[in-house]
Amino acid sequence: MAGAIEHVFLYRDPSVVARRARLRLACNLVSLALAAVVVHWLQHNLGDYPLRILNLAAINVILAVSLNLIYGFTGMFSLGHAGFMAVGAYVAALLTLPQATKDVIFLMAPLAWPFNVLSAPPIVAVVAGGIVAGLAAFLIGLPVLRLRGDYLGIATLGFAEIIRVVANNIPSITNGALGLKGIPNFANNLWWTWGWAAFTVWFIARLVGSVHGKALLAIREDEVAAEIMGVRLTYHKMISFVTGAVFAGIGGALLGSLITTIDPKTFGFMLTFNILIIVVAGGLGSITGSVITALLYTVLLEALRPIEAGWRLGPLAVPEIPGLRMVVFSLVLLVIILFYQRGLFGGREFSWDWLIRKLERAAAGTAATAGAVERRTGATADAGAESEAQATRPGGGWSSTAGRGTETGGRGGASKRAPKGT
């Protein structure tokens, strides 16, 4: 109990809080430096296929974390992520396509203004794709966010399908079913994809840790209680929905650049379902779970591709079965739902606090050891000084406390007292 009280007071001590903040900043800077070294090495030493897998993993991180903000932290069951990805992908592609490519690929109808004259560098195009996706989410959210639960999921899925159908029927902008080809492949770079992934994680983590994030968590737990406590439901829901859509648009822009060709079929419901698998398996309300599960999901999805080509295990021969790896992932998801109802991480997040506490305990133990050694050294020095003082006194006498009627015998070493009764 005393230790817990001491921990609380240390936690509230401004000097301790400031020291821990400095240690967290130092840990973050060191980890970023190490991550930069790893990215630089991978970018220059891996082949095209492993690089493509890692870039796709980074895009899945962006999509999973953004959907986790909407579903895991706010409790809004949204199935419209693929639609926002389509908006971001088409906007970024139209802004980065060279003019010569635009003149060649638009066969059914000429490209409409202003896309026939607009051009932008990749960074501007990606940001523009995210902003337009956010505007689409705002317009969709005005009527839709009044719904809850499965009804909200069905409505967002319907709007995602509307976006896909519209993209299939406006050839003067999207080139219809033919899609857009020859998109510049600027996203085939780990600095691009993982840089955006790191920014997404940082931004959403800061949002969740802010006052608005606490309001989102309150809405997730109980909307009625949150509204009674003064939380503006529509305002905070719209913040979550639009922010998630912005990053979904950024992920869609990067995906379009990575695969260099997009069409309406690219952004079907299965794309949203795959992202939802990552979010649920990693843990609703866990950014760490979304990041790690997105990486594992992307890598394992490619690692299991050979099982679809047929394989033999002793006398058992399995023929070629297209889509078998998705069956394996469905079984894995079923096991997770049965035994880990809250996902693999269950809402837990990675933190440097464990390392900071370990360093503080080590520093406290070192200080205690140094103090004990100093006290023993001081006691030894005092005893030595006392012995030396006694040895250097005339006659080798002993001293007693002054003022108690005793004196030091200087010559004979005997103590002289006044006789009683005199």
The mean per-residue pLDDT over the stretch 350-372 comes to 72
Question: Do 123 and 254 share a domain, yes or no?
Answer: yes
Tell me the Ramachandran region of residue 329: left when phi exceeds 0, alpha when psi lies from -120 to 50, beta otherwise: alpha
**pLDDT digits over 130-186, tens only?**
999 999 999 999 999 888 888 999 999 999 999 999 999 998 899 888 889 989 999
Residue at which a domain ends, from 248, 271, 294: 271
Tell me the Ramachandran region of residue 22: left when phi exceeds 0, alpha when psi lies from -120 to 50, beta otherwise: alpha
Question: Do 30 and 152 share a domain, yes or no?
Answer: no
Question: Do 15 and 136 share a domain, yes or no?
Answer: no
**pLDDT digits over 219-240, tens only?**
998 888 998 988 899 899 999 9
- Alpha carbon distance 302, 249 (integer Å): 24
Three-class SS of residue 403? coil
Structural domain tally of the chain?
A: 2
* pLDDT at 381 (0 to 100): 62
Q: Is the peptide bond before 114 cis (omega within 30 degrees of 0)?
A: yes
Q: Angle at which helices 48-68 and 14-45 pack, to 10 degrees? A: 150
* pLDDT at 95 (0 to 100): 93
* pLDDT at 421 (0 to 100): 44
Domain membership of residue 11 as a residue range: 1-45
Question: Do 224 and 125 share a domain, yes or no?
Answer: yes
Question: Do 132 and 34 share a domain, yes or no?
Answer: no
Question: Do 80 and 22 share a domain, yes or no?
Answer: no
Predicted TM-score (pTM) of this structure: 0.80
Whether residue 348 lies inside any domain: the answer is: no
Q: For 30, what's the count of Cα atoms within 13 Å in the CB-facing half-sphere?
A: 7
Question: Do 13 and 111 share a domain, yes or no?
Answer: no
Three-class SS of residue 316? strand
